[in-house]
Amino acid sequence: MRNIGENKPWESFDIGITASEYDEFNALMGALKHHNGWFTEEMIRKAIGNLGESLNKENLEQWCDQYTFSKKPKTIAVIMAGNIPLVGFHDFLCVLLSGNRVMAKMSSEDDKLLPVLAEFLICFYPEVKDFISFSDRNMKGFDAVIATGSNSSFLHFEQYFSKYPHIFRKNRTSIAILDGTESESQLKALGDDIFVFFGRGCRSVSHLLLPRSFEINKVFEHIVHQGAVINNKKYGNNYDYNKAVHLMNQEKLLDNNFVLLKETTLLSSPLGMLYYHFYDDVDEVNSYCEEHKDSIQCRVGAGGLPFGTAQSPKLNDYADNVDTMQWLNSL
């Protein structure tokens, strides 16, 4: 996965798979954009590379050593989102490492990558074959459910699966808090937190909290290197649409030709836009975070994650702060 992420050529069997298998998987990186216009080769490699960096023996052992799994294996239905490449991989991994069976229902937006990785895993460990299945129909014969989707999907999850032990997830977003002491490199790294995966992930920053004296032009100045996002047709359409709507409504906007900045206390901005508002003291920041705690996935900057790391979660960074491994252990 690290080699795919870095687009390295196949060099030897040390990589674990044959040259033809590697080349076939590598070719998939460029082909997926025809299946899903959001899945550019760069973004897919970014997702796979990030996961590959976390999947080393030391990280996995430190993570799994926190838990004890000794119960009879259960079958966990995992209903996956499709907003970013391999967004359901962490749930897939949790279910397998906890000794349970995963029954994955893939999103039609992202149904190509995980089955290939599962095939490679089965080549190394044939015994896990009976622990992995993919379903494209109504699922049956499961004991518990992990389901991730939009706010509207959440209502369906509750309707159909609430009688089972479950983890349901709906829309979340992330924020960045600046205190005015940020270096140029930190502000530049903030661009990754905003634009990687075109801002479609729950860990994508969609709102900035800025000290009252902060010059908003500094944000534009240090994210200009992300301007290529506008060349993606889907992103560009969102940008154009939101610009047209706000201009017709005569709403005040800042525009640098690839993202629109709007001053508002609303939390989650549409694609192609970035919300921001100013604060006077840390109490205002804490109050805002507390008010929106059920809708914020992660916090970047002052009091939060280092800039540029939002899209590289660690193995124990659980969605919605629900410890999936502990939940599986409690079934």
Q: Where are the domains of the chain?
A: 2-171, 173-301
Q: Taking the CA atoms of 149, 151, 156 and 157 in sequence, report the sign of the dihedral they define.
A: positive
Question: Of 172, 178, 194, whose CA–CA distance to 298 is shortest?
Answer: 172
- Please state, in angstroms and rounded to a whole number, the distance separating the CA atoms of residues 34 and 254: 33
SS3 of 209, please?
Answer: strand
What is the reported pTM?
Answer: 0.94
Residue with tokens 């359901």: 88
Q: State the pLDDT at residue 137.
A: 79
Which CATH number does 173-301 carry? 3.40.309.10
Q: Are 49 and 4 in contact (CB under 8 A)?
A: yes
Q: State the pLDDT at residue 69.
A: 82
Q: State the pLDDT at residue 179.
A: 95
The Cβ of residue 251 has, within 10 Å, a number of other Cβ atoms equal to 12
Cα dist. 39→25, 33, 84, 203 in Å? 15, 5, 7, 17
Which CATH number does 2-171 carry? 3.40.605.10
Q: How do strand 260-263 and strand 254-255 relate by DSSP bridges?
A: antiparallel
- Going by the DSSP 8-state scheme, the letter that residue 107 receives in this structure is -
- Please state, in angstroms and rounded to a whole number, the distance separating the CA atoms of residues 75 and 58: 27
- Please state, in angstroms and rounded to a whole number, the distance separating the CA atoms of residues 42 and 311: 14
- Please state, in angstroms and rounded to a whole number, the distance separating the CA atoms of residues 125 and 77: 21
Q: State the pLDDT at residue 103.
A: 97
- Going by the DSSP 8-state scheme, the letter that residue 306 receives in this structure is P
Q: Given this chain, do its domains 2-171 and 173-301 carry the same CATH topology?
A: no
Q: How do strand 273-279 and strand 205-211 relate by DSSP bridges?
A: parallel
- Please state, in angstroms and rounded to a whole number, the distance separating the CA atoms of residues 47 and 40: 11
- Please state, in angstroms and rounded to a whole number, the distance separating the CA atoms of residues 125 and 115: 15
Q: State the pLDDT at residue 187.
A: 97
Q: Are 75 and 103 in contact (CB under 8 A)?
A: yes
- Which residue numbers in the chain have pLDDT < 70? none
Q: State the pLDDT at residue 281.
A: 95
In angstroms, how far is CA 164 from the centroid of its own chain?
Answer: 26
Q: State the pLDDT at residue 98.
A: 95
Strand runs labelled E in 201-295 = 205-211, 254-255, 260-263, 273-279
- Please state, in angstroms and rounded to a whole number, the distance separating the CA atoms of residues 65 and 235: 42
Strand runs labelled E in 52-110 = 75-79, 101-105
Both tokens assigned to 228: 């290529």
- Please state, in angstroms and rounded to a whole number, the distance separating the CA atoms of residues 189 and 194: 9
Q: State the pLDDT at residue 67.
A: 94
In angstroms, how far is CA 270 from the centroid of its own chain?
Answer: 16
Query: Using only C-alpha atoms, what is the Rg of the chain?
Result: 21
Q: State the pLDDT at residue 151.
A: 87
Both tokens assigned to 185: 């490199």
